[in-house]
Amino acid sequence: MSSNRKRLDRYLARQDGIRPADIRPLIAQGRVLVDGVAATGISQVIDNFSRVQLDDRVLQAQRPVYIMLHKPPGVVSATRDSRHRTVIDLLHREDRATLHIAGRLDYSSTGLLLLTNDGSWSRRLGSPQSNIRKCYRVTLEQPISADCVRAFADGMYFPYEGITTRPAELRIIDACTADVVLREGKYRQIRRMFGRFRNRVLSLQRFAIGKLALDPALAPGHYRELTWQESRDIQAD
């Protein structure tokens, strides 16, 4: 769902029981409130999270929602799927149909997944221009070589898409475990990068996005809402 901006008069014209000819007088009489304050004019700009009220009738009162979910394996990052359980199926919330995913994880991967109804927020998180880091803990089938570290730092060319990955940081924890820091999110990127070295990824968990770390109190499949400050801090990487 997007938080698109729009003119107040155009929004009111789509509401049941409000005639276009009545909009200007209603606003002039102070009967239309935006976020509790009398509207300033027909061209006033609102968004999906502005509270709009006509007299005692609330026309719009949606609030932005930001959710952290600990994704378990075997669940798809999708709002619906005919064959598999989705992350939306894990949410026991009345508003779950209004939510979308801000940065997917593949079927086998686990860890920090974000959901929201704020399209502008999720677009900023996913934009390469935002340069927000995504941190992953990876366990591999074979020891990690120094050549692999250099290749991650240099970027890899993917001929199928005709792209070169941005430099990524590979921090070796032990022989077969490493942390990977990306500033982008290509399709199955980490698995494909290690695949160049014929080193199979056994497990992959995203543990942080920007300054936001996966809450250790969240068991797999559990979730909680972010605080307002967390939703802002994540973009101040």
Catalytic residues: 106
Q: Pairing mode, if any, of strands 157-158 and 134-140? A: unpaired
Provide the Cα torsion 213, 215, 219, 221; round to 10°. -60
Angstrom distance (rounded) from CA 119 to CA 3 = 6
Q: Quick check: 209 and 112 in contact, CB under 8 A?
A: yes
Cβ proximity of 20 and 11 under 8 Å? no
Helix (H) or strand (E) holding 157: strand 157-158
Which residues, in sequence order, are bridge partners of residue 201? Answer: 140
Rounded to the nearest 5°, which phi and psi values hold at 10? -70, -35
Taking a C-beta distance cutoff of 8 angstroms, is the pair 115, 91 a contact? Answer: yes
For residue 173, what are the contacts with CB-CB under 8 A and spacing of at least 6?
Answer: 137, 179
| Helix, strand, coil percentages in the chain from 3-state DSSP, rounded to 5 | 25, 30, 50
CA distances from 224 to 49, 208, 217 (A): 20, 15, 10
